[in-house]
Amino acid sequence: MRLDQFIQKNYPEHSRAFWQKMIASHAVLVNGHPQKAHQEIKISDKLEIFWPNEKPVEKTLPDCPLEIIYEDLDLLVINKPAHLVVHPAHGHLTGTLIEQVAAHCGFVPEEFGDNIRPGLIHRLDQDTSGALVIAKNTLSQNHLARNLAERKFHKKYLALVVGRPKPLEGLIDAPLGRAHNDRRKVVISMDEGSKPAQTKYKVLESAPFEGTLISLVEIELLTGRTHQIRAHFVGIQHPVLGDTKYGNTHLNELAKEKLGLDRQALHAWKLGFPHPENDKMLNLVAPLPEDLKEAIKKLGMEFRA
């Protein structure tokens, strides 16, 4: 196994990028010598890590209760609130949803073998709310992950976007790749390595807001790429309202001031997938959170989810 992969696997509270920087700065030695991140290591090798001065991390759980949509012996589906990180990562080592779920379910990490994110099938961005499924055992996790890879999951979202997309109902079929000037961003791209991405949408309502229109859009993901909805809609000049990474800064500030919206207006609304025990379809709905209900109401829309 590669050196960076091995260390990240054993110290998952830090990202692989963190460990690559540590290795590059010679803070990791193999048999007393610095190595490259891609160096393959052997069982007999001696690793030394010279840790930076950091305060120990105290484990904390989110102070918001779990909103459970569905639960049985095999899985749990929750309505994730906005602003909550799904799993530990560099910069968010504790206070995550997966810790809260593990405490609720009584997860024992060893039951999931080498999996550093026990039970997690898919994820939602920190500031996206909505339906998220977590497996309670490895058999369920493997079954659900396979169905997700085979596109047997059906995901529908609700979003407030700037403007009124035309046509009012359509398909965004555009490959996505990393932006050249900011690798943290995803953009529509024809570069080698970009991945096919398809997003269906339907405009449900539109309303005036500060000299423009805001539209409530129902969205169905046909593929599951990172930041797919956000990147596709900014790519067609209709960014998600409140999206600080891809959206309109001025309108985002107005949305916060006048609509009480302090995050991207994106909600994983409906989720359907085959149950791991019998392959019967589960079709679940995550109710809209209060902040989106209030924003829709202040815009004068009559939508009732």
Q: Which residue has the tokens 């309108």?
A: 251
The string of DSSP codes covering 88-135 is -BTTB-SS-HHHHHHHHHT--GGGGTT-SSTTB-----TT-EEEEEEE
Q: Helices 290-298 and 249-259 sit at what angle, rounded to 10 degrees?
A: 100
Answer yes or no: 125 catalytic. yes
Amino acid letter at 220? E
Question: Quick one: which of 130, 160, 135, 156 has its CA closest to 145?
Answer: 135
DSSP 8-state class, residue 74: S
Contact 77, 69 (CB under 8 A): yes
**d(Cα 282, Cα 276) in Å, to the nearest integer?**
10
The number of residues making up the chain comes to: 305
Residue partners of 33: CB distance under 8 A and separation at least 6: none
Strand partners, 219: 157, 201
| Identified catalytic residue from 125, 127, 243, 291 | 125
Cis geometry, peptide bond prior to residue 167 (ω within 30 degrees of 0): yes
φ/ψ of 73, rounded to 5, equals: -70, -20
Task: List helix spans (H) across 217-281.
Answer: 228-235, 249-259
Contact 285, 269 (CB under 8 A): yes
Tokens coding 73:
């012996």
Residues serving a catalytic function are: 125
